[in-house]
Structure 1
Amino acid sequence: MERQGNLSINSDNIFPIIKKWLYSDQDIFIRELISNGCDAITKLKKLAVMGDYEEVEGEEYKIEVYASAKDKTLTFVDNGLGMTEEEVDKYINQIAFSGATDFINKYKDKAGDEQIIGHFGLGFYSAFMVADKVTIETCSYKEGAKPVYWECDGGTNYTMSESDDDIRGTAITLYLNEDCLEYANEYRVKEVIQKYCAFMPYNIYFINEDKEEEEAAKKEAEKKEKDKVIEVDTTQEDELVGDAPKKDEAEEKKEDATEEKKEERKPLNDTNPLWMRNPKDCTDEQYIDFYQHVFLDFKKPLFWIHLNMDYPFNLKGILYFPKINTQYDQLEGTIKLYNNQVFIADNIKEVIPEFLLLLKGVIDCPDLPLNVSRSALQNDGFVKKISDYITKKVADKLTGMYKNNKEDYEKYWDDLSPFIKFGCLKDEKFCDKMTDYMLFKDINGKYITLPEYLEEGKEKYENKVFYISDEVAQSQYINMFKEEGMNAVYLTHNIDNPYITHLEGKNENVKFLRIDADLADNFVGEKLTEEQTKEYTDKLSEAFKKATGNDKLVVKVESMKNENVSSVLTVSEESRRMMEMMRVYNMGGMDPNMFGAGEAETLVLNANNKLVKYILDNPEGEYKDMICNQLYDLAVLANKPLSAEKMTAFVKRSNDLLGLLI
């Protein structure tokens, strides 16, 4: 008997509210309806385990999605436990609408779905985001249960009656509105299923109803044509030889089975993803294949961590450390978050520590406290524990590799270091765990820790740590260091500038200096007297300022051991870091020099060099200005590129100097 009802709410229509607040991404109605089908199957299997339901031998539990562009429909069918009329009334008609009036009054002025957590318990209602009408045909597993038909057009009225379909399970049909007909398209639906349902626990099949109808009609026509031909042939044979033997039954069955196998549908999903398996049962090839398939990255990952935890919360997953080819600020990883094999979102920062977002991987946590739209999280304390656990597992993996397989750790270090340094900046606990395992590649290509560097050079440069940021630009300084048996470390990533500032804060006596920041005492030979220093500095300052036209040029004179080095440019570490920080933050496009934050450069001249001596001895020399400019430009070139104008002048001057030689 048909029964009609009215949804007891005082609003004209509840569904616009659902559309506005409950779901931010229209595609997810497919995820919700398939998830509900999976839940129905899971519940039925649990009942079977408890002895309350006897499973049908050989039955495949599955979800089927039917689409028809012709009929403008999309149907979701599961063979789960189904519903009785009472259950439909309870779960469909009452639960979602029981508190609707209070809900509307309370949330009508709110703008975010985070305020409506818990008010709706069924993703079924997301169907009304795309459909003008929704119908349900369901039959419960319970013995004697009558099948139920339910229909609602998105207004406040519904219709319920007995259905003719008594097959256990539920079929939900969406009659798509004109704006959402894309969801009747095979490729569009498959695209969404691949995104959200690629690893759901039961097979998902897609059926294009229009194509099936066309193929069925085609086969029927072919069969009729074939039957006509057989009938003619049989008649002719009967006339000649009487009754012909019929085709062997086994042969016919074999042909039918072969035909059926050809048409066998393949599921769109993998019901047993790699992260759900025991790590002991997974091979390196499987990890690599999974990585390349899911993240469409043809490169092999460096290594991975398989997370597998049952207590105090359920969490599984795989985190991959990708091969890094770019500077740190161009990196972008992807951590896919799942809930019971249902895709939720990429890179949810509440669950994934920020620094781990540089990685690629999947995390599945059935215990996540999600809201109904699964787009936001509840219970910050619980989520923080999950985040802390993931951080701990990553730190354990890295420190374990250092202790047990240092060769691999060093091999991966250049790729790992930006990620680990970012982690140290963002997470104090992670930083504390990694302190003793941070490596620096030194001037000789050897990997050492900070304490090892400081111990090695305590007599030469006390607590100063010299570093190289550009091997090519700073090659002159590198050679000078090597000649003196001094060491420096490579810090070439953008993350290194804030990282060394962080290290200086944690180690008060340690000071990082770029290799060109200061001329270490180790390069200086016999010290000049105060009188000599003043005399030489005055003379050379005047000569170089006049020749270069730069009144602000700072000149320093030293007596270097290597007389072949004529001039070196040093840049104040403090001012250079300030400049880099201002470039990073742009500072509104203001000129750093307005605040005295320009790079403080000093031209260091070697009193033992012949060219410098020539300038000192020939204050009015014919080629003095030419030599001054050349020495200055050479010092700048060893530090950074010249401007286009200055490079043109440098090339011309170099040619002129070569002309003088001949």
Structure 2
Amino acid sequence: MSETPTMEKHSFQTEVKQLLHLMVHSLYSNKEIFLRELISNAADAVDKLRFQSLDNSELIAEDPDFKIRITTDEQAGTLTISDNGIGMSKDELIANLGTIAKSGTADFLSKLSGDQKKDANLIGQFGVGFYSGFIVADKMTVVSKAAGSNESFSWSSQGEGEFEIEPSDKAGRGTDIILHLKDSEKEFLNDWRLRSIIGKYSDHISVPVQMLKPAEPAAEGEDPKPSTEFEAVNKATALWTRSKSDISEDEYKEFYKHISHDFTEPMSWAHNKVEGTQEYTSLLYIPKNAPFDLWNRERSRGVKLYVQRVFIMDDAEQFLPVYLRFVRGVLDSNDLPLNVSREILQDSSVTQSLKNACVKRILSLLEKTAKKDPEAYQHFWEQFGNVLKEGLGEDFSNQQTLAGLMRFSSTHTDSAKQDVSLDDYVSRMNDGQDKIYYITADSFETAKNSPHLEVFRKKGIEVLLLADRIDEWAISHLSDYQEKKLVSVTQGDLDLGELENQEEKEQREQLEKDSASLIERFKAVLGDKVKDVKVTHRLTDSPACVVSSEGEMSAQMARLMAAAGQSAPEIKPVFELNPEHQLVQHAAEQSDAVFEDWAMFLFEQALLAESGSLNDPGTFTKRLNKLLLAK
């Protein structure tokens, strides 16, 4: 193509260059998916114009029949995907095809390892889209005319460093994507091959995907006449409007890939048509793998919204809470107005009703998966568990259902694997036990080895081990499950109730009386560093520990708030002593001056065991060295 004064050259965004290289080299074994992606994009362009035409019918007056056409030119070696949808202006061509607008792109690229198989899965989670065309083409040309515009432009690139933009003379609205196929990819000029790919991946597209009818057999002695008539090669019926019995598993899976641009298959889905006071159809999917930007709560989320089969918007977030941001799907309502906007959805009672129904449908689907296929649910939990935990503090109406879906590590196995449900825990509770015990910590090892667990291990009482950053916040919103109170083993006075016999209670009371003077000595040394000093009933092997008062913010929560840059109230711990421990007894025998060092050492040692750090580790080290050298 010769350069003219009207031609402009632009450089790709850096991330586009990286992604193009990785895509071409990682997706070679799944190259046919380029056609699925380009047809999906064309269908989206048609949906967007269909919606805009509700307010401005002039946009489609000259060509009211929406369609996608696939044509080939064997001599030129080109494959063209054309649509008469919304089209793109010059600025939109540059923005949409020269950059990747997804947030977190750099973070996504940093996770790519160079292992083609693993990278293919990651790229699939990111979404391959338009750039997948370069898997089979060494050059792509895009000619587009925005609906309602008199101008059209051509975009072209060889998928390396640059792309070119220049005016074109396209007649009708929409977009033509012309792939100049590599010599090794000419199989995609074959009519039968294209039809089979469309049938496999795009049968569910609600827009007719057309190809030229096969040529009529020529009469003897005559040359065959090329066909000029187009026919639809897909069902062209919105998949969610069809009866469930008429839809195959493969069709459901391909439709998921179409709406999510996910390369992998979904874990499960729920397809429901509701009639009565409200009429709507929902098709909701739970992905198998988490997207790379799952933890960005501001990322686009939600379902595709249709009203009476007419596409209204992508990512209608009003129908899903933030903690279900990984769910994909379609919602088609007969009870919303066709000109519905995001602002109207925000305050609509119909929206709230549909949202409640969708949430219950998804949670029910997760419950069924957990019961019928624990292995699949375990994989789901490893991918999305920490996001689901957000619901404990954000969705109180479904809190008990969500609690039943939680999975934890526990002292039952001492394994870091989170595979213990609250139902599992309750089923194993000791006779007389009426509480669910848990501990939160910065790491699994810290939780598992905490001195607070000593009496629980001695008595064979299971304790949940919570070590994810969100756990402290999430569990603080869950007060009980199945009428069993959830209790932190690091907060408040320990009351084991019926798990402690009368003899043990009497021994505890006697120990408190015998240790009264020792407790006073510790109080005198520690002063306002602590809220109180008590005899412990948690410890069997350790000399001391620190705990938070009942109802007070835990030290773990305070640390999390500080790490997030938020101010937290000053928390003075309760210091609990084990008077029967040799170190405590040794300290009690010392003179006041030496005892002061022992008291501070035991206190700081307990703080270190609980939080993993000290405000003044230097002084602690000097004091420890001094005590070690004392005779």
Please report the TM-score for the alignment, with normalisation by the length of structure 2.
0.54
Distance 1:322 1:336 in 2: 17
Distance 2:529 2:390 in 1: 42
Distance 1:253 1:657, change over 3 A: farther
Task: Give the partner amino acid of 1:572.
Answer: S
Task: Give the partner amino acid of 1:555.
Answer: V
Instruction: Tell me what 1:360 maps to.
Output: 327
User: Structure 1 residue 636 and structure 2 residue 610: aligned?
Assistant: no
Instruction: Tell me what 2:348 maps to.
Output: 380
* Larger helix fraction of residues: 1
Distance 1:495 1:615, change over 3 A: closer
Q: 2:52 aligns with which of 3, 9, 32?
A: 32
User: Structure 1 residue 533 and structure 2 residue 512: aligned?
Assistant: no
Question: What SS does the aligned partner of 1:538 have?
Answer: helix
User: Structure 1 residue 646 and structure 2 residue 616: aligned?
Assistant: yes
Q: Deviations over 1:314-349 (max 9, x none)?
A: 414232245459999755572232326654334434
Task: Give the partner amino acid of 2:519.
Answer: T
Instruction: Tell me what 1:459 maps to.
Output: 432
Task: Measure how far apart 1:371 and its partner are.
Answer: 4.8
Distance 2:275 2:571 in 1: 55
Distance 1:473 1:530, change over 3 A: closer
Instruction: Tell me what 2:488 maps to.
Output: 513
Task: Give the partner amino acid of 1:512.
Answer: V
Instruction: Tell me what 1:344 maps to.
Output: 312
- Contact (CA 8 Å) 2:536, 2:576: kept in 1 or not? yes
Distance 1:642 1:658 in 2: 21
Question: What SS does the aligned partner of 1:510 have?
Answer: strand
Question: What SS does the aligned partner of 1:473 have?
Answer: helix
Task: Measure how far apart 1:418 and its partner are.
Answer: 4.9
Distance 1:402 1:507, change over 3 A: closer
Instruction: Tell me what 2:207 maps to.
Output: 202
Task: Measure how far apart 1:647 and its partner are.
Answer: 2.7
Q: 2:369 aligns with which of 388, 401, 406?
A: 401
User: Structure 1 residue 308 and structure 2 residue 328: aligned?
Assistant: no
Distance 1:610 1:346 in 2: 67
Distance 1:376 1:454 in 2: 47
Distance 1:365 1:191, change over 3 A: farther
Q: Deviations over 1:526-566 (max 9, x none)?
A: 43445422211012333455xxxx6546322347773x411
Question: What SS does the aligned partner of 1:575 have?
Answer: coil
- Contact (CA 8 Å) 1:201, 1:341: kept in 2 or not? no
Distance 1:534 1:304 in 2: 61
Please report the TM-score for the alignment, with normalisation by the length of structure 1.
0.52
1:481-560 map, 5 Å: 481-492=456-467, 496-497=471-472, 500-504=475-479, 510-515=485-490, 518-519=493-494, 526-527=507-508, 528-544=510-526, 551-552=529-530, 554-558=532-536
- Contact (CA 8 Å) 1:399, 1:434: kept in 2 or not? no
Distance 1:384 1:620, change over 3 A: closer
Task: Measure how far apart 1:497 and its partner are.
Answer: 4.9
Task: Measure how far apart 1:496 and its partner are.
Answer: 4.8
- Contact (CA 8 Å) 2:83, 2:174: kept in 1 or not? no
Instruction: Tell me what 1:617 maps to.
Output: 589
Distance 2:377 2:574 in 1: 40
Task: Measure how far apart 1:631 and its partner are.
Answer: 2.4
Distance 1:431 1:649 in 2: 46
Number of residue equivalences: 451
Task: Measure how far apart 1:616 and its partner are.
Answer: 0.5
Task: Measure how far apart 1:604 and its partner are.
Answer: 1.6
Instruction: Tell me what 1:390 maps to.
Output: 358
Distance 1:369 1:377 in 2: 10
- Contact (CA 8 Å) 1:465, 1:512: kept in 2 or not? yes
Distance 1:511 1:366 in 2: 41
- Contact (CA 8 Å) 2:305, 2:330: kept in 1 or not? yes
Task: Give the partner amino acid of 2:544.
Answer: S
Instruction: Tell me what 1:449 maps to.
Output: 422
Question: What SS does the aligned partner of 1:175 have?
Answer: coil
1:151-190 map, 5 Å: 174-175=149-150
Cα-Cα RMSD: 5.7
Q: Deviations over 1:255-307 (max 9, x none)?
A: x959x99xx9999x995666556555666666566555654556665x22232
Instruction: Tell me what 1:477 maps to.
Output: 451
Distance 1:177 1:38 in 2: 15
Distance 1:551 1:513, change over 3 A: closer
Task: Give the partner amino acid of 2:617.
Answer: M
Q: Deviations over 1:507-540 (max 9, x none)?
A: 7772522446555668989434454222110123
Task: Measure how far apart 1:568 and its partner are.
Answer: 1.3
Distance 1:488 1:326, change over 3 A: farther
Distance 1:454 1:204 in 2: 56
Task: Give the partner amino acid of 2:543.
Answer: S
- Contact (CA 8 Å) 2:87, 2:175: kept in 1 or not? no
Structure 2, unmatched stretches of 5+, are: 1-46, 67-81, 94-145, 154-164, 178-201, 211-217, 414-418
Q: Deviations over 1:86-113 (max 9, x none)?
A: xxxxxxxxxxxxxxxxxxxxxxxxxxxx
Q: 1:569 aligns with which of 540, 546, 557?
A: 546
Question: What SS does the aligned partner of 1:365 have?
Answer: strand
Distance 1:198 1:425, change over 3 A: farther
1:232-381 map, 5 Å: 253=223, 271=236, 275=240, 279=244, 291=256, 294-297=259-262, 301=266, 303-309=267-273, 311-312=275-276, 313-321=279-287, 323=289, 330=296, 334-339=301-306, 343-350=311-318, 352-355=319-322, 357-365=324-332, 367=334, 369-372=336-339, 374-377=341-344, 380-381=348-349
Question: What SS does the aligned partner of 2:445 have?
Answer: coil
Task: Give the partner amino acid of 1:311.
Answer: E
Task: Measure how far apart 1:311 and its partner are.
Answer: 2.7
Distance 1:651 1:279 in 2: 69
Question: Which range is displaced more, 480-489 or 494-503?
Answer: 494-503
- Contact (CA 8 Å) 1:603, 1:632: kept in 2 or not? yes
Task: Give the partner amino acid of 2:607.
Answer: V
Distance 1:512 1:330, change over 3 A: farther
Distance 1:504 1:277, change over 3 A: same
- Contact (CA 8 Å) 2:269, 2:286: kept in 1 or not? yes
- Contact (CA 8 Å) 2:491, 2:554: kept in 1 or not? no
Distance 1:430 1:473 in 2: 31
Task: Give the partner amino acid of 2:207.
Answer: Y
Distance 1:342 1:516 in 2: 55
- Contact (CA 8 Å) 1:317, 1:364: kept in 2 or not? yes
Distance 1:363 1:463, change over 3 A: same
Structure 1, unmatched stretches of 5+, are: 1-26, 46-60, 73-170, 206-247
